[in-house]
Structure 1
């Protein structure tokens, strides 16, 4: 293990390097004399807790903002001037967790956006070039269709293809697997390896540490705006990596269901799904009792997300019944779900869970606005109290309840979403990808909240692709092709769970 940035071995070319980078926002030091050196043709992981400085470094490496001090080089040459956007695009591209694809434009238009030239566009030529560009990636789509129809996996590949077509050979992947299922992740890794063989270099940012060991050769750790270490992945154990990220020994500690009392059949049913059918699922029958945590696992096509969103009213069931405490809910009504005691952390916090321009207090209070003051008014004092309670209860790192949630790290944003969902003391809590894109300590905190809520008697549904998220569950239901194909108690193994998800076990 090395405590400073590794120097490239003799003869090794650096695809990208950032040295002695410092960046401040007012009194906040976002990067403090940090550095990273990425060898040509490697996949280099950058990891750290939310707020460690990873996103700020990405913005410096992509020329979106200038560092206060330090230098960035590509293949040994100084980075272009900040105003030379074309020069930056030829050197580096970033595929962000939040896609930069414009959904209203066609796939072809997205691939060649800002590159059509000043003459009349030859649409037939554009479509032909687009199809040729996507062919090596196996993206079998009609390039004339709106990009809104692409899957998450297809959008990412379109962005990578777009970057490579400009000439960039250094690609930053920012949480690329956060919304992908297992097979899609493996396909992404296969393409990464193939591109590395052809000379493409990656900086890979992920909170899923097992992925670092699968696809990366080198790892750099940031913590509290400082560089902590850079080392070969093969020389760094998982516990050592987590310790470096957190500054604390002991690794990841995830609450387990075994620590809670067993939920017997005599416990009251809080949520009852009877013969429920809808988008991507059919004839689902599930009872969730008070104090019970149920996990929903399965591939992206299993129907697990659609089922959870139907329970919360984001989708309308085609048939069947949803009952909370014996009361039948109005199909497809979020308002009715809220009124009857269902809280939800949706799968996309940026588009469904938060209003980024509003404050922590305003976001946390959204589900209880009608209870804070008479005739729909919201007294500032009560609003501030809700925000302060959320900050204290969920350990949100912030300057105060008035801070816009857009300024927070991903893990702290997710805590605000959780605070909003629990502000109304729901009887049933639906969590969809609750730890996606958060660091190890935020994951511990969020899963600790699940355990705490269950102990108060609420029923909880956890939908996730992460085995760690399932460990807090009393039962795990595996969905396959829209049906519940397998059920595990608390004693499941990861091998059994993966086999059931992939459909290689019998019901």
Structure 2
């Protein structure tokens, strides 16, 4: 239920208000007379492409830096001075995509860091610390063991602990920065349930996400930034998806409507044949076939086994049973090099941990899979490498001054394009993608999915393993996994309800 329906979302002055905010870094304009107003009790989305100014606004709203012009108000009163950190914590807190919890400390120690109770001798009273931590978690319905080390917690649990810690300072305005980026479908549902519960207790949220489906599910209001400026603020229910995307990009995009493609003609030829693939406790008796030019989705929530199946196909894992055949050949199981040699290209789930070498150049990252094409007898030609890289930069519209730039200097969307470029560098017969548009802006998402369409049109078979509905809409059919087994095979044109129900192990007609 939205804040408006409860009656308290419009009562009183705004919980937070930023007006006429401008911020420059040298010649770069990060914010240009931008503004936002967040009413009490609502969940307010802030969306925009990378570089729109969202992160700069968050740093100003949380007192990490001052605007060049403009003013920040909390509950109608001027924000504290930047040096008054405790005063800021009583007004606002941000739960970032990368956790600020200290891994080696317990939950209780993290919750009350630098606020430990001490006895008359000046020593920390660990009993009092744990008691207060339990009370705090109970107050905000967070079910976590206060004695557990933070590194033992799931991403979801760490987020709940961070929210509880923020609330313990007195803040009732919480900024959630890409909170679902590392969560599976079940954890997202629990997070949204927790947000609604806290909303009912008068907590206000600013929700930052690239996933538009989530905004329509959880948010009451949405503000769009583009090119450092405020574009529109509207009730989510009153803003059609196409208009929201147009506001973010400055133009209507293909994602505003259902994507369409012509499925490849029926043929007995297979470019990928997976038969009876099993790994104890992970997935069981998984079989799938992909024809040249066909895009097959592999859907499922966390724990379904979809990611593990995709990683097994590309040689990152070894199955206990079953076979994988690529264009008539069987690469050695559990061998990435053999998978590459057989004609598999791969975009992994996490570009930071698995997809990129951050300090290496775009050229080096994009050509890691094709050293044999860059020079004889193991010697690499820089000229040849750069020529290949420039061709990839052009093909994938990577925004960079040149191939020598370290990939760490690129935006998230352009980094993902580099990962895609490397996957395509060896002209794969089969392209395997795991959550290929995670953490990228709307325009980059559209571009990447269009590129997958183009690759398939050239005869490459594609597997898209994802629980993102937009990723799966491009597929000719979607295989749904639940608890390690394929439970549904949905042709293109599926309904969201049917797909999500199958992912959650429910009857299609439920």
Q: For 1:448, what is the secondary structure of its paired residue?
A: helix
Aligned match of 1:200:
203
Q: Which of these residues, 268, 285, 309, is aligned with residue 307 of structure 1?
A: 309
Aligned match of 1:441:
443
- Preserved CA contact (<8 Å) 1:361 1:387: yes
Aligned match of 1:352:
354
Match runs of 1:137-156 below 5 Å: 138-156=141-159
Task: After TM superposition, give the deviation of residue 417 of structure 1 in Å.
Answer: 1.9
Structure 2: state its 5+ residue gaps: 1-8
Bigger Cα displacement from structure 2, 296-305 vs 148-157: 148-157
Q: For 2:73, what is the secondary structure of its paired residue?
A: strand
Aligned match of 2:5:
none
2 CA distance for matches of 1:75 and 1:377? 64
Task: After TM superposition, give the deviation of residue 298 of structure 1 in Å.
Answer: 1.6
- Preserved CA contact (<8 Å) 2:40 2:202: yes
Q: Which of these residues, 502, 505, 510, is aligned with residue 503 of structure 1?
A: 505
Aligned match of 1:410:
412
Task: After TM superposition, give the deviation of residue 379 of structure 1 in Å.
Answer: 4.2
Report the TM-score, using the length of structure 2 for normalisation.
Answer: 0.88
Q: For 2:30, what is the secondary structure of its paired residue?
A: strand
Aligned match of 1:455:
457
Indicate whether 1:429 and 2:402 are aligned.
Answer: no
Against the structure 1 CA distance between its residues 253 and 147, is the aligned structure 2 distance closer, same or farther, given a 3 Å change threshold?
same
Report the TM-score, using the length of structure 1 for normalisation.
Answer: 0.88
Once the two structures are superposed, what CA deviation does each residue of 1:99-157 show, in whole Å capped at 9, x if it has no partner?
33344444334333454489644444434433333335554443333333333322221
1 CA distance for matches of 2:460 and 2:81? 56
Aligned match of 1:4:
none
Task: After TM superposition, give the deviation of residue 415 of structure 1 in Å.
Answer: 1.8
Task: After TM superposition, give the deviation of residue 228 of structure 1 in Å.
Answer: 0.9
- Preserved CA contact (<8 Å) 1:478 1:484: yes
* Aligned-residue CA RMSD (Å): 2.9
Match runs of 1:294-333 below 5 Å: 294-333=296-335
Against the structure 1 CA distance between its residues 45 and 457, is the aligned structure 2 distance closer, same or farther, given a 3 Å change threshold?
same
1 CA distance for matches of 2:334 and 2:146? 33
- Preserved CA contact (<8 Å) 2:274 2:322: no
Aligned match of 1:5:
none
- Preserved CA contact (<8 Å) 1:49 1:439: yes
Aligned match of 1:46:
46
2 CA distance for matches of 1:325 and 1:319? 20
Once the two structures are superposed, what CA deviation does each residue of 1:201-239 show, in whole Å capped at 9, x if it has no partner?
111112222332332222111111111112233332222
2 CA distance for matches of 1:27 and 1:362? 30
Against the structure 1 CA distance between its residues 391 and 66, is the aligned structure 2 distance closer, same or farther, given a 3 Å change threshold?
farther
Q: For 1:142, what is the secondary structure of its paired residue?
A: coil
- Preserved CA contact (<8 Å) 1:221 1:230: yes
Bigger Cα displacement from structure 2, 294-303 vs 491-500: 491-500
2 CA distance for matches of 1:350 and 1:106? 27
Q: Which of these residues, 129, 134, 144, is aligned with residue 132 of structure 2?
A: 129
Q: Which of these residues, 396, 416, 419, is aligned with residue 394 of structure 1?
A: 396
Aligned match of 1:167:
170
Q: For 2:369, what is the secondary structure of its paired residue?
A: helix
- Preserved CA contact (<8 Å) 1:254 1:448: no
Aligned match of 1:101:
101
Q: For 1:259, what is the secondary structure of its paired residue?
A: coil
Bigger Cα displacement from structure 2, 398-407 vs 23-32: 398-407
Structure 1: state its 5+ residue gaps: 1-8
- Preserved CA contact (<8 Å) 1:255 1:451: no
Aligned match of 1:341:
343
Task: After TM superposition, give the deviation of residue 10 of structure 1 in Å.
Answer: 9.4
2 CA distance for matches of 1:197 and 1:37? 20
Bigger Cα displacement from structure 2, 121-130 vs 185-194: 121-130
Q: For 2:414, what is the secondary structure of its paired residue?
A: helix
2 CA distance for matches of 1:51 and 1:188? 27
Indicate whether 1:248 and 2:251 are aligned.
Answer: yes
- Preserved CA contact (<8 Å) 1:20 1:69: yes
- Preserved CA contact (<8 Å) 1:321 1:329: no
- Preserved CA contact (<8 Å) 2:326 2:342: yes
1 CA distance for matches of 2:182 and 2:92? 23
Against the structure 1 CA distance between its residues 380 and 322, is the aligned structure 2 distance closer, same or farther, given a 3 Å change threshold?
same
- Preserved CA contact (<8 Å) 2:97 2:177: yes
Against the structure 1 CA distance between its residues 257 and 38, is the aligned structure 2 distance closer, same or farther, given a 3 Å change threshold?
closer
2 CA distance for matches of 1:60 and 1:12? 23
Indicate whether 1:180 and 2:207 are aligned.
Answer: no
Against the structure 1 CA distance between its residues 44 and 290, is the aligned structure 2 distance closer, same or farther, given a 3 Å change threshold?
same
Aligned match of 2:229:
226
- Residue-pair matches, total: 498
Against the structure 1 CA distance between its residues 361 and 248, is the aligned structure 2 distance closer, same or farther, given a 3 Å change threshold?
same
